Amino acid sequence: MRYSALGVFWHGLTGNKGWKPVWRNPDPKPHYDVVIIGGGGHGLSTAYYLAERYGIRNVAVLEKGYLGSGSIGRNTTIVRANYMLEGNSQFYSHSLKLWENLEAELNYNVMHSQRGQVMLGHSDGQMDMLARRGNMMRMQGDDAVLWGREDVRKHLPYIDHENARFPVYGGLMHWRGGTARHDAVAWGYARGADMRGVDLIQNCEVTGIRVEGGVVRGVDTTRGHIGAGKVALTAAGRSSQVAAMAGLRLPIESHVLQAFVTEGLKPVIPHVVSFGMGHFYISQSDKGGLVFGGDLDMYNSYAQRGNLPMVEHVAEAGMALMPMIGKAKMLRSWGGVMDMSMDGSPIIDKTDIAGLFLNCGWCYGGFKAVPGSGDAFAHLIASGNHHPAADKFLLSRFRTGHVIDETGNGATPNLH
Amino acid sequence: MSRLAKGGQIDRSQSVPFSFDGRTLIGHAGDTLASALIANDVKLVARSFKYHRPRGILTAGSEEPNALVGIGTGDQIAPNVRATMQEVYRGLAAHSQNHLGPLAYDLLAVNDLMAPFFGAGFYYKTFMWPKAFWEKIYEPLIRRAAGIGALSGVEDRAAYDKAFAFCDVLVIGAGPAGLMAALVAAKGGADVILVDEDFRMGGRLNADMQEVGGKPGADWAADTVADLAAMDNVRLMPRTTITGAYDGGTFGALQRVSHHIARPGADLPLETFWRIVAKRAILAGGALERPIVFPDNDRPGIMLASGLRSYVNRFAATPGQAVSLFTNNDNAHQTARDLQAAGVRIAAVIDSRADAKISGDFPVLTGASVIATKGRKALRGITVQTASGIRNIETDCLAVSGGWNPSVHLTCHMNGKPVWREDIAAFVPSDGAIPGMIVAGAAGGDFSTHAALKTGAGAAKAVLKDLFGKAPRITLPKAEDAPGAMTPFWHVSGGRGRAWLDLANDVTTKDVVLAHRENFRSVEHLKRYTTLGMAPDQGKLSNLGALAIMAELTGQTIPETGTTIFRPPYTPVAIGALGAHGKHKGFAPERFIPSDALAREQGARFVEAGLWYRPSWFPAGGETHWRQSCDREVNMVRSSVGLCDVTTLGKIDIQGPDAAEFLDRVYANMFSTLKVGRVRYGLMLREDGMVMDDGTSARFSDTHFVMTTTTAAAGQVMTHLDFCAQVLWPELDVQFISVTEQWAQFAVAGPRSREVLAGLCDTAITDEAFPYMSCGEVSIGAVRGRLFRISFSGEHAYEIAVPARYGDALARTLDGAAKALGGGWYGMEALNVLRLEKGFITHAEIHGRVTADDIGMGRMVSAKKDCVGKVMSQRPGLSGPEREQLVALKPVGAVKQFGGGAHLFNEGAPQVRENDQGYVTSHCFSPTLGHPIALAFVKNGHARIGEHIRMKDYMRDIETICEICPPVHLDPEGGKLRG
Amino acid sequence: MRITCPICGDRDLREFHYRGAAKLMHRPAPDAGDEAFYDYVHIRENPPGLNRELWFHELGCRAWLVAERDVTSHEFKSVELAAEAKRGAK
In chain C, the number of structural domains is 1
In residues, how long is chain A? 416
Distances in Å between the alpha carbon of B475 and those of B24, B180, B184, B470, B472? 50, 11, 10, 16, 10
For position B70, what pLDDT does the model report?
A: 98
- Kindly state the percentage of chain A with pLDDT values over 70: 100
For position B484, what pLDDT does the model report?
A: 76
Cβ atoms B502, B532 nearer than 8 A: yes
Question: Among the residues of B504-644, which ranges form H helices?
Answer: 509-517, 523-530, 543-554, 558-561, 575-578, 596-601, 626-639
Write the CB contacts of A102 (distance below 8 Å, at least 6 apart in sequence): A110, A112, A185, A188, A371
d(CA B149, CA B69): 7
Beta strand B824-825 with B642-645: parallel, antiparallel or unpaired?
A: parallel
How do residues A216-274 score in pLDDT, each as one tens digit?
Answer: 999 999 999 999 999 999 999 999 999 999 999 999 999 999 999 999 999 999 999 99
Shared fold status for A24-78+182-252+343-414 and A113-177+253-341: no
Residue B1: band (very low, low, confident or very high) from pLDDT cuts 50, 70, 90: low
Query: What residues of chain B have any CB closer than 8 angstroms to a CB in chain C?
Result: 164, 246-250, 275, 277, 414, 435, 687-688, 719, 722-723, 726-728, 730-731, 866, 870-872, 874-875
- Find the range with the poorest average confidence among B381-390, B478-487, B551-560, B649-658: B478-487
Angle subtended by helix axes B523-530 and B509-517, to nearest 10: 120
Distances in Å between the alpha carbon of B96 and those of B31, B51, B104, B146, B379? 18, 16, 10, 15, 19
The greatest distance separating any two alpha carbons of chain B, rounded to the nearest whole angstrom, comes to 116
**Is there a cis peptide before residue B569, judged by omega within 30 degrees of 0?**
yes
Compute the nearest-CA separation of A260 from chain B (Å).
10
- Give the chain B residue nearest A15 (alpha carbons): B116
Chain C partners of A236 at a C-beta cutoff of 8 Å? none
Domain formed by A24-78+182-252+343-414, architecture: 3-Layer(bba) Sandwich (3.50)
SS3 B757: helix
Q: Inter-chain contact C42–A251, Cβ cutoff 8 Å? A: yes
Distances in Å between the alpha carbon of A396 and those of A350, A406, C37? 10, 18, 14
Tell which residue, B926, B669, B682, B712, has the closest CA to residue B790.
B682
How do residues B898-915 score in pLDDT, each as one tens digit?
Answer: 999 999 999 999 999 999
For position A407, what pLDDT does the model report?
A: 96
Does the pLDDT of residue B828 top 80, yes or no? yes
**How much is the average pLDDT of A392-408?**
97
How do residues B549-593 score in pLDDT, each as one tens digit?
Answer: 999 999 999 999 988 789 999 999 999 999 999 999 999 999 999
**Is there a cis peptide before residue A371, judged by omega within 30 degrees of 0?**
no
How do residues A150-181 score in pLDDT, each as one tens digit?
Answer: 999 999 999 999 999 999 999 999 999 999 99
**How much is the average pLDDT of B965-975?**
93
How do residues B94-133 score in pLDDT, each as one tens digit?
Answer: 999 999 999 999 999 998 988 888 888 999 999 888 888 8
d(CA B390, CA B786): 99
Q: What count of Cα atoms within 13 Å lies in the side-chain half-sphere of residue B729?
A: 20
How do residues B643-668 score in pLDDT, each as one tens digit?
Answer: 999 999 999 999 999 999 999 999 99
Exposed / middle / buried, residue B865 (Cβ in 10 Å: 0-12, 13-18, 19+): middle
Closest Cβ opposite residue B579 in set A125, A268, A319: A319
> Which of C 26-65 lie inside 8 A of B, CB atoms?
27-28, 30, 32, 34, 37-38, 40-41, 54, 56, 58, 62-64
How do residues B679-689 score in pLDDT, each as one tens digit?
Answer: 999 999 999 99
Distances in Å between the alpha carbon of B649 and those of A263, B38, B738, B739, B752? 45, 65, 11, 10, 24
How do residues B168-211 score in pLDDT, each as one tens digit?
Answer: 999 999 999 999 999 999 999 999 999 999 999 999 999 999 99
Tell which residue, B148, B172, B15, has the closest CA to residue B80.
B148
d(CA B291, CA B302): 10
Closest Cβ opposite residue B585 in set A163, A265, A325: A163
d(CA C50, CA B129): 52
Query: What dihedral do alpha carbons B765, B767, B771, B772 form, nearest 10°?
Result: 100
**How much is the average pLDDT of A90-104?**
97
Beta bridge partners of B607: B614
Closest Cβ opposite residue A323 in set B155, B578, B911: B155
Interface ipTM > 0.90: yes
Does the pLDDT of residue B494 top 80, yes or no? no
> Which of A 40-79 lie inside 8 A of B, CB atoms?
65-69, 73
d(CA B174, CA B172): 7
Handedness of CA B715, B717, B720, B725 (dihedral sign): negative
Write the CB contacts of B471 (distance below 8 Å, at least 6 apart in sequence): B184, B188, B460, B461, B462, B464, B465
Cβ atoms B443, B287 nearer than 8 A: yes
DSSP for A146-193, written as a single string: EEEHHHHHHH-TTS-SSS-SS---EEEEETT-EE--HHHHHHHHHHHH
Does the pLDDT of residue B353 top 60, yes or no? yes
d(CA A400, CA B863): 21
Cβ atoms A381, A357 nearer than 8 A: yes
What are chain B's partners, defined as 3 or more CB pairs within 8 angstroms? A, C
Write the CB contacts of B546 (distance below 8 Å, at least 6 apart in sequence): B501, B502, B507, B512, B526, B530, B532, B533, B539
Compute the nearest-CA separation of C37 from chain A (Å).
9
3-state helix, strand, coil in chain B (%, to 5): 25, 30, 45
In residues, how long is chain C? 90
Phi, then psi, of B824 in degrees rounded to 5: 165, -165
What's chain B's average pLDDT? 96
For position B421, what pLDDT does the model report?
A: 96
d(CA B208, CA B60): 13
What are chain C's partners, defined as 3 or more CB pairs within 8 angstroms? A, B
For position C89, what pLDDT does the model report?
A: 64
The greatest distance separating any two alpha carbons of chain A, rounded to the nearest whole angstrom, comes to 67
For position A57, what pLDDT does the model report?
A: 98
d(CA B246, CA B501): 30
- Kindly state the percentage of chain B with pLDDT values over 70: 100
Closest Cβ opposite residue B248 in set C1, C17, C40: C1
> Which of C 31-70 lie inside 8 A of A, CB atoms?
34, 38, 41-48, 51, 53, 69
- Kindly state the percentage of chain B with pLDDT values over 90: 91
CA angle B772, B774, B777 (to 5 degrees): 135
Type of residue found at B781: G
Closest Cβ opposite residue B719 in set C2, C28, C58: C58
In a mutational test of the C interface, the residue from B726, B738, B861 whose CB has the highest number of chain C CBs within 10 Å is B726
For position B943, what pLDDT does the model report?
A: 97
- The reported pTM is 0.97
In a mutational test of the A interface, the residue from B136, B151, B842 whose CB has the highest number of chain A CBs within 10 Å is B151
Closest Cβ opposite residue C71 in set A244, A301, A342: A301
d(CA A148, CA A118): 12
**How much is the average pLDDT of A275-291?**
95
Does the pLDDT of residue A389 top 70, yes or no? yes
- Give the chain C residue nearest B728 (alpha carbons): C25
What's chain A's average pLDDT? 97
Q: Which helix (H) or strand (E) holds B396?
A: none
Residue C90: band (very low, low, confident or very high) from pLDDT cuts 50, 70, 90: low
Cβ atoms B687, A411 nearer than 8 A: yes
Residue C87: band (very low, low, confident or very high) from pLDDT cuts 50, 70, 90: confident
In a mutational test of the B interface, the residue from C2, C26, C37, C38 whose CB has the highest number of chain B CBs within 10 Å is C37
**How much is the average pLDDT of B64-85?**
98
| Domain assignments of chain A as residue spans, ordered by start | 24-78+182-252+343-414, 113-177+253-341
User: In b/e form, how buried is each residue of B893-912, taking b as 16+ CB within 10 angstroms?
Assistant: eebeebbbbbbbbeeeeebe
Tell which residue, B657, B969, B736, has the closest CA to residue B837.
B969
Beta bridge partners of B280: B169
**How much is the average pLDDT of A88-93?**
98
Angle subtended by helix axes B523-530 and A182-195, to nearest 10: 110
| Chain centre to alpha carbon of residue B904 | 41
Instruction: Give me the domain span that covers residue C16.
Output: 2-89
Chain B partners of A407 at a C-beta cutoff of 8 Å? 848
**How much is the average pLDDT of B594-602?**
98
d(CA B57, CA B65): 8
Closest Cβ opposite residue A411 in set C14, C41, C51: C41
Cβ atoms B326, B400 nearer than 8 A: yes
Query: What dihedral do alpha carbons A303, A304, A306, A312 form, nearest 10°?
Result: 180
**How much is the average pLDDT of B748-765?**
94
Compute the nearest-CA separation of C35 from chain A (Å).
8
d(CA A257, CA B974): 51
Answer whether C70 touches B (CB < 8 Å).
no
Q: Inter-chain contact C48–A299, Cβ cutoff 8 Å? A: no
Beta bridge partners of B743: B803
Exposed / middle / buried, residue C89 (Cβ in 10 Å: 0-12, 13-18, 19+): exposed
* CATH superfamily membership of A113-177+253-341: D-Amino Acid Oxidase, subunit A, domain 2 (3.30.9.10)
What are chain A's partners, defined as 3 or more CB pairs within 8 angstroms? B, C
Distances in Å between the alpha carbon of B722 and those of B659, B681, B684, B717, C61? 13, 21, 14, 9, 11
